Amino acid sequence: MLVLSRRVGERLVIGDGIVLTVIEVRGDGVRLGIDAPRDVRVHRAEVLEAVQAANAESATNDDAEAAATAAALRRLVPPAAGLTPEDPSATSSDDR
């Protein structure tokens, strides 16, 4: 890890298009300005970690929960007249 000291208004350049500027220092906090190309994603680490944890949790939902959700949806949306969910002709032309 590279550790640098910067003062308010001073900048740090990373690569070809990322510029960090120290905006303000308050107590134990530092406000940074970040100029980066639109294709470079900039995230706060704690938010990114929370999103990744939520995604991992949702990806590991068990089959019982998925079956319960499917059953609830079937009760809300009855199949079209004469068609059953197992009937291959039940899919719309958009699904083919």
pLDDT tens figures, 16-36: 899 999 999 999 999 999 999
Inform me whether the pLDDT recorded for 69 exceeds 90.
Answer: no
**Stretch 1-10: mean pLDDT, rounded?**
94
Task: Give residue 84's pLDDT band: very low, low, confident or very high (50, 70, 90).
Answer: low
Please state, in angstroms and rounded to a whole number, the distance separating the CA atoms of residues 55 and 50: 9
Return the number of other C-beta atoms located less than 10 Å from residue 43's C-beta: 9
Q: Is the pLDDT of residue 90 over 60?
A: no
Residue 73 pLDDT exceeds 60: yes
pLDDT at 86: 62
- Tell me the CB-side half-sphere exposure of residue 13, using CA atoms within 13 A: 3
